[in-house]
Structure 1
Amino acid sequence: MNRSVILWACAALAVAACSRVSDGVPVADPSQPAAVQATPTTVPSASPDPLPGVVPTTGSPPPAGPFCVPAVLPSLRTVARVTDPGAPTATVAVPDGWAMTSGTGDVGARLEGPDGMWAEVTITATSLDPEATFREYVDDLTAGSVMSTVSMLPADMCGFSGQRLMGMLSDGGDSIEYEDRLVQVPTGNGDHLIAIHVQAPSGAPGFADAAAHVTQDFEVGLP
């Protein structure tokens, strides 16, 4: 990361922002992050530790068309698609009662739920390897926060490198909780990062279930 990660509360420290990062370990069921989180570790900006569970994509990109289709498809789904003709698509689950719209730019889809909950699916080209891509994403996610926490778990999918993030962001007043699913997809047009971000005001009822639903394994469509 581009700045030091501070583990303790930063209210009494004369710094612009602080973050706490905890690493998960590979497990058979990554949907249970509380059971696999290890003791938080300090990540110095000068020599960042490797992100957990980041492995290179195996084999060659599959042929064009739908790929990585989950065995059980959610009853309600939306296709996230961006204007970049070389970008993959992501067909993600939508919770019951949520509204869905297409996005603009790098945002392929936006979802709106109750109690201030919402989600976005972004698809962006990247020239970085998966670990560097995920680290840059975390830096951008926490950049505007006075305090943030980030827990990371491996979440590869269909041979694609992936990461699951969860935590809290605060501007010094109200705070939000979030969950993200990151997957780096190589295509014949270069690599693209598919990022599903779900957030809500801290304590919003039903957030954990809604976030788990949106960030579950999803179908990838290749150009």
Structure 2
Amino acid sequence: MNRIPAVLLAAGVWLAAPGCTRVEQGVPTAGTDTSAVVTTAVPEPAGNPCVPEELAPVRVQAEIADPAAPTATVGVPEGWSMGSSPGGARLEGPDGMWATVTVSKVSSDPDEAFAIYVDDLTADTVLSSVSLLPGELCGYPGQTVLGVLGTADDGTATVQYEARIVHVPSGGAAYLIAVYVEAPSGTPGFDAAATMLTGDFEIGLP
């Protein structure tokens, strides 16, 4: 795994029942015990480069060994550390906050890739909530995923999370870029950190 470079510039409601997942697509809906089904229109990609109008002063680039894979460069909140990890980059913040930026090969169907991501996210939790919001980026299909996960056997210990997932075709394959942020529920500063990390980010193609 290559070392992840850091770029320095000048300048919901949760369902308290074991094994249950509530999925909301933009607005509140009835709870369900079934897996998440995400429907997303597929726009025409705008192409490379994909660079937001506003860039954070400090950014970290996640890349994997696959030469056909895209890269993702996201903003780093002040006071956070960063480094390489399997599949991309990992960041550590104060008060138990942490984040990952991963790039992985997935199905060519964005809806299928998104549904698998949500299923994997909630698979090992005793309770969970999932809200799905639009998250397209530079013409690539995307979702913003946020909610609460129960980590104790009785569901009393919970973490809050937010993720931005983007489906990017590259080199004849398809990849999912996932920016995931987690912290113990109610952690001060989580919303601001998650907003920066999951905001619009740079996508590079080989």
TM-score, structure 2 normalization:
0.86
Equivalent residue pairs, number: 190
Following superposition of structure 1 onto structure 2, how do residues 170-181 of structure 1 map, counting pairs within 5 Å?
170-171=150-151, 172-181=155-164
CA contact (8 A) 1:122 1:196 kept: yes
Query: The residue matched to 1:102 in structure 2 has which SS?
Result: strand
Query: The residue matched to 2:176 in structure 1 has which SS?
Result: strand
| 2:72 matched residue in structure 1 | 90
Cα distance in 1 for partners of 2:85, 2:205 equals 19
| 1:148 matched residue in structure 2 | 128
Q: 1:8 to 1:72 in 2, by over 3 A?
A: closer
Identity %: 47
Aligned partner of 2:20 among 6, 18, 21: 18
Provide Cα deviations, 1:91-139, integer angstroms capped at 9, x if missing partner.
Answer: 00000000000112x2x11000000000001100012411111011000
Q: 1:175 to 1:209 in 2, by over 3 A?
A: same
Residue 127 of structure 2 corresponds to residue 125 of structure 1? no
Cα distance in 2 for partners of 1:174, 1:193 equals 29
TM-score, structure 1 normalization:
0.80
User: Could you tell me how far 1:43 is from its partner in structure 2?
Assistant: 4.8
CA contact (8 A) 1:87 1:189 kept: no
Provide Cα deviations, 1:125-164, integer angstroms capped at 9, x if missing partner.
Answer: 0124111110110000000000000011011111100000
Letter of the structure 1 residue corresponding to residue 75 of structure 2:
A
Q: 1:200 to 1:97 in 2, by over 3 A?
A: same
| 2:166 matched residue in structure 1 | 183
Query: The residue matched to 2:131 in structure 1 has which SS?
Result: strand
Letter of the structure 1 residue corresponding to residue 38 of structure 2:
L
Provide the aligned C-alpha RMSD in A: 1.8
Residue 28 of structure 2 corresponds to residue 39 of structure 1? yes
Following superposition of structure 1 onto structure 2, how do residues 1-223 of structure 1 map, counting pairs within 5 Å?
8-10=15-17, 17-24=19-26, 38-43=27-32, 45=34, 51=38, 54-58=40-44, 62=47, 67-104=49-86, 106=87, 108-171=88-151, 172-223=155-206
Cα distance in 2 for partners of 1:83, 1:103 equals 12
User: Could you tell me how far 1:50 is from its partner in structure 2?
Assistant: 5.1
User: Could you tell me how far 1:23 is from its partner in structure 2?
Assistant: 1.3
Gaps spanning 5+ residues in structure 1: where? 1-6, 11-15, 25-37
